[in-house]
């Protein structure tokens, strides 16, 4: 079955030499290649050279995975190809075999830099390259200023300012997708992910939903992660908005998201320096002479602290929090000026 001709139809799904080589490393003659478009319970929807079908999946893949499919007597995902990237949040796989993670934040509500930073950490940790998308530029006169703020905090990451309403930035996004890249959208509900997808697809196939009036939060309109083919080339995975962005297990992502701090930290006198006032700390010195942005260093330390907390044994965490309460109570008893 494996005439090259039949694989041509997979190109819009992102098939290229890289995927072909991975496929060849696991496939047997009775297999055919397919890409997972969406997963529910123990079955998934896969896209093959000839169309879309539902397949059983004893080893559950995730959206974006390339698989070797057996179709006789029934469609079954036999092998999940080795992944070159995987976006994961606290042990949950969100998408696989992606090249770009679009970290989406909207400009119709106050910027949450901390959240963007956390999503960038997950993005870097996935093995794909992050790009920040600021949406709804039409909703504020401050779009350029806000973009500069984000740009300063997202070192080494492109920031694209867009509006699905005016079309601003849409071509730039398409540039990040061509020719055969796969991107996943990551961001809170109501950020405008699906609206942007419709704009890129030039269709209205994705459901979109109004945000709440007061705080501009979304109503979780998109309910599944699913894969979409962009007409001009490229693949997009739309996702339901994440409520929270836990960082458990994403140590590598923190290092990649803060290369400047990590590099300068190599120069600290103590190898295990926590950059919290130890003598000979190169990071503190760099903040003092203006080479490092103090806000960025603060974020770095905060995220590092969270990761350390997440790997601690539960009993240790409990003990520490108990100790924290005791200290806190003791402090409360002190007269105000001594605190």
Ligand X SMILES: Nc1nc2c(ncn2[C@@H]2O[C@H](COP(=O)(O)OP(=O)(O)OP(=O)(O)O)[C@@H](O)[C@H]2O)c(=O)[nH]1
Count residues binding Mg ion (CB under 5 A): 4
CA dihedral for 115, 117, 121, 123, sign (positive or negative)? positive
The torsion region of residue 142 among left (phi > 0), alpha (psi -120 to 50) and beta comes to alpha
Instruction: Give the separation between CA 304 and CA 128, rounded to whole angstroms.
Output: 21
Q: Which of 63, 163, 180, 299 binds ligand X (CB under 6 A)?
A: 163
Q: Closest separation between CB of residue 136 and ligand X, Å?
A: 4
User: Which span sits near ligand X by CB under 6 A: 35-43, 119-127, 216-224, 243-251?
Assistant: 216-224
Residues 6 or more apart whose Cβ sits within 8 Å of residue 144: 161
User: Which span sits near Mg ion by CB under 5 A: 53-61, 81-89, 190-198, 271-279?
Assistant: 190-198
Q: Distances in Å between the alpha carbon of 254 and those of 44, 130, 323? A: 32, 13, 28
User: Could you say whether residue 138 binds ligand X (CB under 6 A)?
Assistant: yes
User: Could you say whether residue 165 binds ligand X (CB under 6 A)?
Assistant: yes
Query: Which of 77, 191 has the CB closer to ligand X?
Result: 191
The torsion region of residue 20 among left (phi > 0), alpha (psi -120 to 50) and beta comes to alpha
CA dihedral for 290, 295, 300, 301, sign (positive or negative)? positive
User: Could you say whether residue 194 binds Mg ion (CB under 5 A)?
Assistant: yes
Instruction: Give the separation between CA 256 and CA 271, rounded to whole angstroms.
Output: 19
The answer to whether the CB of 183 falls within 8 A of the CB of 237 is yes
* Residue in the shown chain whose Cβ atom is closest to ligand X: 241
**H/E run at residue 256:** helix 251-257
Residue 47 interacts with which of ligand X, Zn ion, Mg ion, none, CB < 5 to 8 Å by class: none
Q: Map residues 214-253 to x or -, x wherever contact with Mg ion holds by CB under 5 A.
A: -------xx-------------------------------
Q: Closest separation between CB of residue 235 and Mg ion, Å?
A: 17
Residue 273 interacts with which of ligand X, Mg ion, Zn ion, none, CB < 5 to 8 Å by class: Zn ion
Strand order in the sheet with 182-186: 158-161, 129-135, 100-106, 182-186, 235-238, 226-229
Q: Map residues 236-275 to x or -, x wherever contact with ligand X holds by CB under 6 A.
A: ----xx----------------------------------
Interface residues for ligand X in 183-212 (CB under 6 A)?
Answer: 189-195, 208-211
Interface residues for Zn ion in 258-317 (CB under 5 A)?
Answer: 268, 273, 275, 281, 283
* Residue in this structure with the two tokens 């679009």, named with its chain if needed: 102
Cα(first)–Cα(last) distance of the chain, in Å?
76
Binding footprint of Zn ion on the chain (CB under 5 A)? 268, 273, 275, 281, 283
Binding footprint of ligand X on the chain (CB under 6 A)? 135-136, 138-139, 163-165, 189-195, 208-211, 218, 220-222, 240-241
Binding footprint of Mg ion on the chain (CB under 5 A)? 193-194, 221-222
């Amino acid at each position: 079955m494996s005439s090259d001709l039949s694989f041509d139809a997979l190109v819009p799904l992102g098939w290229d030499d890289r995927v072909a080589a991975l496929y060849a490393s696991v496939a047997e003659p009775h297999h055919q290649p397919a890409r997972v478009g969406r997963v529910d319970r123990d079955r998934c929807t896969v896209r093959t050279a000839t169309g879309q079908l539902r397949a059983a999946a004893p080893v559950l893949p995730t959206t974006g995975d390339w698989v070797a499919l057996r179709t006789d007597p029934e469609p079954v995902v036999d092998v999940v190809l080795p992944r070159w990237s995987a976006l994961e949040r606290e042990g949950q796989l969100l998408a696989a075999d992606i090249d770009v993670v679009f970290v989406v934040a909207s400009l119709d509500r106050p910027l949450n830099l901390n959240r963007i930073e956390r999503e960038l950490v997950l993005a870097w940790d996935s093995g794909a390259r992050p790009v920040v998308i600021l949406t709804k530029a039409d909703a504020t006169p401050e779009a350029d200023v806000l973009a500069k703020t984000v740009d300063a905090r997202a070192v080494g990451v492109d920031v694209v300012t867009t509006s699905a309403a005016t079309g601003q930035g849409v071509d730039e996004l398409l540039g990040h997708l061509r020719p055969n890249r796969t991107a996943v959208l990551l961001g809170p509900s109501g950020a405008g992910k699906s609206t942007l997808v419709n704009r890129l697809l030039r269709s209205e196939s994705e459901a979109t939903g109004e945000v709440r009036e007061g705080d501009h939060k979304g109503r979780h309109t998109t309910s599944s992660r699913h894969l979409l083919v962009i007409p001009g080339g490229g693949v997009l995975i739309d996702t339901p908005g994440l409520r929270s962005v836990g960082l458990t297990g994403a140590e590598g992502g923190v290092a990649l998201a803060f290369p400047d701090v990590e590099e300068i930290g190599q120069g600290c006198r103590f190898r295990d320096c926590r950059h919290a006032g130890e003598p000979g700390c190169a990071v503190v010195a760099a903040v003092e002479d203006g080479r490092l942005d103090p806000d960025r260093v603060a974020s770095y330390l905060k995220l590092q602290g969270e990761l350390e907390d997440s790997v601690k044994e539960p009993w240790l965490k409990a003990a520490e929090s108990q100790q924290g309460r005791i200290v806190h109570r003791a402090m409360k008893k002190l007269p105000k000026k001594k605190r």
